[in-house]
Structure 1
Amino acid sequence: MHEAADTDQLRAWNGYEGRHWADHHERYEAVNRGFDVHLLHAAAIGPDDRVLDIGCGNGGITRRTARAAHRGDALGVDLSAPMLARARGLAADEGLANVTFEQGDAQLHPFPTAAFDTAVSRFGVMFFADPAAAFANIARALRPGGRLAFLALRDPAGNDLADVFRAMAPHLPLGAADGPVSRAASLADPDGVREVLAAAGFSGARVAPVDAEQVWGADPADAAAFLCGWGPVQHLVGTGDPAADRVRASAEAAMRPFARSGAVRLRGTAWLVTATRP
């Protein structure tokens, strides 16, 4: 792969974090796919479009855009080799011939100039070390008039997962409960998002709130075990830590109010952001 701007992210997504997402791809899809309808409607992908998926992960959105652009194609780019391997396997299983995946950092990746009609991302643009540089690189890859549509987390304090982390907080290192959610909220300020996109060369940026149901598990115990295996939480309290059982028990108790219809269903909140390359 080409050089990465953020070596910490490179290590994480090619280590435990990336393997966990790849190994549990169906579960992460259950958490995030409720937002797809908002993203795909905003992207308005046509049958002949060339689509760029930034931070594609296991390729769920890449594959959906490839099916929409059935006479065009879709390229998914991500730092994580484990997730890209999963993405390629899933695309092959579905018989998609118009989708490819590349390992790279979107901040630096040498995309072909003006090659894409649409760039999309489902929560893959929130971890840039230099958002302005990254979005400028994405803008360069879009043709004039090309569209950008992405999802980013809103203020994490307002969603149901924040309630679960507040219940876990007494059993985590001091102040650590804020980290797993807030560190992914780098684009939570709408005015800041508009400023970054304008500086990167986009115009007409719009930021709209969207909510979606997120399925975290079959029951509270299952959901708590999955959450505690998620990289940021596992990093705080490893399996050998005596506090791990208390963290899991507190997460399970906090999940119980959200259990209904055979699953644990939390309300997720996001910004849907759209813009155009002039």
Structure 2
Amino acid sequence: MGSVAVVNTEQEAAWNGYEGEHWAEHDDRWNAVNAGFNEPLLRAAALTPGLRVLDVGCGAGQTSRLAARAVAAGQVLGLDLSAPELARARERAAAEGLTRLTFERGDAQTHPLPPGSFDVAISRFGIMFFADPVAAFVNIRAALRPGGRLAVLTMADPSRVEWVQALAATRPHLPVPDFTVGQPGMFSLADPETFRRVLAQAGYEQVNAELVEAPMRFGDDATDAADFLMSSGPGRFLLSRATAQDVAAAREALIAALAPHQSGTDGVQLAAAAWLVTARNPQP
């Protein structure tokens, strides 16, 4: 496969550097974080045997594999910027014998997808980091057949996401940013009205946003969860900007914030909310 133009260069650098390597190496743990949202996403996608599915921002491919099993003799294409995660995705798919599932590395804003070739496009938190979301959703819509469906998840307001509140406990020691709705990053599409406008500008119809909630499992206990969060790409970046004393204090503050969420049987689970957004490519 030849190279294609990437315009989302900041995200490409992150997901082909430490961040992508961390997610690939710990894909089971990140899937445990996000797995509670799989059922609502797949329900909204209404996948049935024979359908052709595009999974945008597929990462290490858990949702792609779930989709491939749901569509059986259909086809699934997982698209992502991250070479490390796609390597893990291909490994997992091969181990499960999912021969009708393929993966491509590309920028959803520009990647040359075959026009009108998919019945459904899905994404579990893979659509929040676009440099130009309208361009990305225009490109995705062009790949859908007339009447094709879109079903995607984006994080809701950070006040509804408990890991944000836990991380805020480290602010006396680390330069944790304010998570602002609408700014570039994880909460760029956290306002459903903004998301509706983006999809309307991209040419979709029947746009609907449903709030869904699920726990995110971050570790076996508070210490395990704190160390996992601090080893992630954003956590590592924050630690690199702090003294050793502040790092130690931040770790203790984070462990204390996570401790009330610890259960002996379920580990550390933090409540989260997301918008499940569905839409259709208009019929001619």
Call closer, same or farther: CA 1:180–1:90 in 2, change over 3 Å.
farther
**Of the candidates 20, 33, 38, which is equivalent to residue 22 of structure 2?**
20
Report the alpha carbon displacement of residue 270 of structure 1 after superposing the two structures with TM. Answer: 0.3
Call closer, same or farther: CA 1:180–1:28 in 2, change over 3 Å.
farther
Question: Which SS does the other structure have where 2:275 is aligned?
Answer: strand
Structure 1 residues 117-196: aligned runs within 5 Å = 117-173=119-175, 176-179=176-179, 183-196=185-198
Match of 1:269 in 2: 273
CA contact (8 A) 2:41 2:151 kept: yes
CA contact (8 A) 2:4 2:106 kept: yes
Deviation sequence 1:200-238 (CA, Å, 0-9, x none):
110010001000011000000000000001111111113
CA contact (8 A) 1:202 1:277 kept: yes
Call closer, same or farther: CA 1:153–1:171 in 2, change over 3 Å.
same
Letter of the structure 2 residue corresponding to residue 48 of structure 1: G
Structure 1 residues 9-158: aligned runs within 5 Å = 9-158=11-160
Report the alpha carbon displacement of residue 57 of structure 1 after superposing the two structures with TM. Answer: 0.2
Call closer, same or farther: CA 1:240–1:90 in 2, change over 3 Å.
farther
Match of 1:259 in 2: 262
CA contact (8 A) 1:180 1:233 kept: no
CA contact (8 A) 1:165 1:177 kept: no
CA contact (8 A) 2:160 2:271 kept: no
Provide structure 2 residue ranges, at least 5 long, that are not aligned to the other structure.
none
Report the alpha carbon displacement of residue 240 of structure 1 after superposing the two structures with TM. Answer: 7.9
User: Over aligned residues, Cα RMSD in angstroms?
Assistant: 1.5
Question: Which SS does the other structure have where 1:101 is aligned?
Answer: strand
Letter of the structure 2 residue corresponding to residue 113 of structure 1: P
How many percent of aligned residue pairs carry the same amino acid? Answer: 50
Letter of the structure 2 residue corresponding to residue 249 of structure 1: E
Letter of the structure 1 residue corresponding to residue 30 of structure 2: Y
Letter of the structure 1 residue corresponding to residue 218 of structure 2: W
Distance (whole Å) between structure 1 residues aligned to residue 204 and residue 179 of structure 2: 30
Match of 1:3 in 2: 5
CA contact (8 A) 2:56 2:78 kept: yes
Question: Which SS does the other structure have where 1:143 is aligned?
Answer: strand
CA contact (8 A) 2:156 2:275 kept: yes
Letter of the structure 1 residue corresponding to residue 163 of structure 2: L
Letter of the structure 1 residue corresponding to residue 4 of structure 2: H
Question: Which SS does the other structure have where 2:171 is aligned?
Answer: helix
Distance (whole Å) between structure 2 residues aligned to residue 87 and residue 96 of structure 1: 11
Provide structure 1 residue ranges, at least 5 long, that are not aligned to the other structure.
none
Letter of the structure 2 residue corresponding to residue 93 of structure 1: A
Question: Which SS does the other structure have where 1:3 is aligned?
Answer: coil
Distance (whole Å) between structure 2 residues aligned to residue 139 and residue 214 of structure 1: 30
Give the number of equivalent residue pairs.
276
Alignment of 1:247 with 2:250, yes or no, is: yes
Question: Which SS does the other structure have where 2:172 is aligned?
Answer: helix
Report the alpha carbon displacement of residue 250 of structure 1 after superposing the two structures with TM. Answer: 1.1
Distance (whole Å) between structure 2 residues aligned to residue 257 and residue 277 of structure 1: 45
**Of the candidates 207, 221, 226, which is equivalent to residue 209 of structure 2?**
207
Distance (whole Å) between structure 1 residues aligned to residue 160 and residue 197 of structure 2: 23
Distance (whole Å) between structure 1 residues aligned to residue 266 and residue 120 of structure 2: 37
Distance (whole Å) between structure 2 residues aligned to residue 241 and residue 123 of structure 1: 32
CA contact (8 A) 1:168 1:177 kept: no
